[in-house]
Structures are given as structure tokens and as C-alpha cells.
Amino acid sequence: MRVAAQVPVKAMIIGDSPMFNTTICARVSETPSMKQLAGEEYSVIELAGLLEEKFPGFDPTFYRYWAQGRRKVDPEALKAFERWFPQYDCADDLSKADCPVLLLQSDWISDDDVTKAKNLVADLTVAKCDNLSHELHNESRGYAAVVPVVQFLESLA
């Protein structure tokens, strides 16, 4: 969002990112520290179990895949992210985006955030991606987000 606010871009796709401080702070407080679920402290199987416990309802293969990625994340880098992220509010960036925007709404973007975004972005398309987690790209059902993305990209041609 920051790039689209500062330089001309043809379009922007936002994939289930919390955008406003109230939503971000609520998500950070209800989610286990990303630092706790990163690095090599746990085996893939142990970490997959922790992720499944905290985020139930996905295929077991997805948890192992997710755990493998989490083990590659540096916990120290996430400390800075956890301090900075709750302070970020994209309202200013969104209001400056002078391009079509596709907002993929899954479980981290509230309906209130969608309403706020509609008031800030002149050319906004919202695709509600029901039954998908925040990590659209990592999910076995993530293909459900592909259709609105392709339709949006085709509309730009």
C-alpha cells in the first residue's frame, strides 16, 4: 500500500491484510506471538500441532506446510515487526492510491474495515473469500482467491 501511495501503479491487490489500527491491535492481541511460532525451537510436527490447536479446521498437510515456513522465519526479525505493525494504519496510504484496488476479504479484514476502505478508495472491488484463513497463499483452498484475482486483472486490460 505504501508504494501505491507514493508512485503511480496500474493496480493494487490487498490480500486479507488488517488495515486499520483497531483491527490490527485486536488481531495481534488474540494471536499467539509470531515469535513463539517461528524459528527452529519446535520440530515441524510439533509446530504443526501448535498451529492446528490455535487455528483449527484445516487439512493436516496444510499445518505441516505452514510449520515448515514458520521454522524458516527469524524470531528476532519478528520482534521488530510485532512492535511496529500495531502502529501502522493504512488510511493515509489508501486515500492516496490512485488506481483500481482489489481487496480480498477473508478472516482478518472486518466488514467495518471494508466500509472504511470503500470510503477511502474511489475504485475499490471487494472479493469476499469465505472459509479462507488470513494466509490465502498458503492454504490448500487458496485457489478460491484465484478467480477474483484473475477477473480483476482481466478487467484492467
Q: Which pLDDT tens digit goes with each residue over 4-38?
A: 788 889 999 988 776 766 666 565 555 555 567 77
pLDDT value of residue 79: 72
For position 32, what pLDDT does the model report?
A: 55
User: Using one digit for the tens of pLDDT, what is the confidence trace for 71-108?
Assistant: 887 877 777 766 776 677 788 888 988 899 999 988 77
Task: Give every CB contact of residue 77 below 8 A, 6+ residues apart in sequence.
Answer: none
Strand, helix or coil at 126?
Answer: strand
Q: What is the mean pLDDT of residues 46-59?
A: 84
C-alpha 57/C-alpha 117 separation (Å) is 29
Which residue type, as a one-letter code, is found at position 102? L
